[in-house]
Structure 1
Amino acid sequence: MRRQLACVAALAIGLGASPASADPFSDLAALPTFYTDATMKTMKPMTGFKKAWFAMPKHDRLKMTKACNDPAVSKHHAQFCANVLALGGAN
């Protein structure tokens, strides 16, 4: 019985964590620093983008770079990912 409960708990945790980790852009507070407006519609020029990029922690940059290499995720953040990939995913 304990084994069955442990398996169900592991499955529930795995399924619950999946949507949260699918899009690293949704849970990062630093994301607005890449935009010129509060609605996050207008991207900063590359010089401002680069400054904000290198101000982020390295692990966040790695997560975003990995996400930008995933076509399903990068589709929703095309302009942002274009800038990340133009920087070569520089860390």
Structure 2
Amino acid sequence: GAMALSMVAGSALAAGETGTSALDDPAKMQPFYTDSTMKTMVSNDDFVKAWKALSPEDQMAMMSACDDEAKNANPTNSHPEFCSSVKANGGSK
């Protein structure tokens, strides 16, 4: 819907010349959410499993995208729940 479009447009701007953020790839983000609307996060245990299933490159891209969002936070490009879970679980290797 409209929310997904505004999220994609907002973070594409924030990502600058790199294109869209790793956080806008539904194939990579879907495992962290309970359904296709990607509004409800999975449990912490499931988050950790999904995180560990990512390649190190994807993990780095997501951590970098979360750092970028923290610097350029606005309502259309934020994934605060996801990024706080990344910091809690993924930030420590």
TM (normalized to structure 1)? 0.69
Identical positions, percent? 38
Rate the CA distance shift 1:73–1:20 in 2: closer, same or farther, 3 A.
farther
Larger-gyration structure (1/2): 1
Aligned residue runs from structure 1 range 1-91, under 5 A: 18=17, 20-21=19-20, 23-27=21-25, 29-70=27-68, 71=70, 72=72, 76-91=78-93
Higher relative CO (CA 8 A, sep ≥ 6), structure 1 or 2?
2
* Structure 1: 5+ residue stretches without partners: 1-16
* Structure 2: 5+ residue stretches without partners: 1-15
Aligned-pair Cα RMSD in Å: 2.3
TM (normalized to structure 2)? 0.68
